[in-house]
Structure 1
């Protein structure tokens, strides 16, 4: 649990200190509500979202809970035993796949559900958190600007798109000093729609402060804030720029908050899923074993809640420019290949008037995007991969 002394600035400093060291992640296994008590699924587990990197043929591994004689089959294929672990190769045929383990001696059964994502294989996006100042500028200059890209921040994003094809997902606050989204001009609605192939807007939080705004929130509070932001996005930019994916501010919340986001359309929820370090959890409601699992897999579905969680690969503004590529390289050095790379950055650090302004902001974004390009990741929104 993060102490009340945590702030965005101390989070940035702590992340920078940790640098690129990821460490090796332990093997995770646990039972699911759908499983009986006689077996644990080791790999895959309930809710795993498998992809081209895993292959269509998957080796399923399970272990009996008790030391007793069993004769296991996995999807009607006799399982082979080695050192107490039973396994069999199965073929994934559909988006949703049931894996059924049966003990032919007793008739006991365990079942999990996994998914196969045929389109998820080496994609990336640039995502922006804590965003609203660029909209305030467009609002203030509505009579002057003939395009949203006359705003310097939007101009930067367009230049990255034109150079690399990068797709950009922007997570919005509802309000900041002397401005809220209800004031945002709809003068540029057609332009937002015309660029919806590479720009998406979604919910982040009501405002930047206080930190951890939804740590103790209930369903109703989150639903109201979420609905208010979505209503305004639809008004000034159109439903075309909206998506089923978001990153919640700080992302340490009770399950009711995630349910409210889900019910407002955000079935894919992105965060850091910090674990085994001194960083704030930023892991929604997930426990340590699930966070460790997501740190290996980068994507997982809570089948009980029908929510897909995706791990960000880097917070760009927490890493010094010379270390960005090294940070991202460290995944491969630890035998982890992200099937989807979320390159996350915060809007504020772009502006010279901001107290923590980063003069190399543009260069940092460029370095992260070039790493993705050099490692054969192609621009794509998450929602386009999970079909």
Structure 2
């Protein structure tokens, strides 16, 4: 079978390619041409063989440009530095948080059993910041706990935005389902606005509803209720919620340890029946960040007279709303005491148990 191409057939093929490029809006005159390759060694081929084509017949390959991003959002895969986030956050912290979430989402969820960036919950904030920088540099997929650390580091420049770790313990809510526990964690953020404080969240999950949340919730309890409802739509029942203390903003230099769990909410029981993970009896309604120091006992709050429950609060969370509100009120009011409690935990707090070492949260997250 003769494999040679006649000059007429080659010319027709070039015309078809040029027409296809023109239809796609690509002009070969505007693109650089590669240097002409050296012709192959001469052989005893027939004189009817087509000669080696010249540079003028080379069809260039165009690299398509990325579509313009939507207004108000960063382009996908854009590397955002803390300096840029700080500049944007000074004018619009909500937009800066959206950019931080885009960085987290672009890394993608790690569906493998191996964790690429193991998180030591007893490590200092500076050590966690080093791990977060490695995530941005290596761009490997991450899990929910790694996403919280990365989100805390990216938002460290937003000094007016507290960032609080919130962990969920759930189980499948179906008759006859295996008794398996799932864990997930997100980073709750509180943004000051003209209408008051608004809550949202950063995070990553297999399920879109369990990832980030927009900054629109009027209270931390309303944000938690949204996650409880999202779990319900995914046939999960929330058994426990653990709320930590805010991450320090000077993460690159801070040597204190992060308090991942301070307030434990057992949704299956009343607040007075709650028991902490450490095995110590603790009233959820009596949780106070001012008592986190090992030298001070945990103080109970006077939650005041009973009040109407916010309709946005999930019924399972309603008995714990007073504890959540008292927790955040003390964080806002007693910032110095909270900082002292975190510093005391860095020296060794009895509230940190052996279970707070290297933890890889698996399951629904």
- Fold conserved between structures, TM > 0.5: no
Higher helix share: 2
Larger Rg: 2
Higher strand share: 1
Structure number with the bigger relative contact order (C-alpha 8 A, sep ≥ 6) is 1
TM-score after normalising by structure 1: 0.25
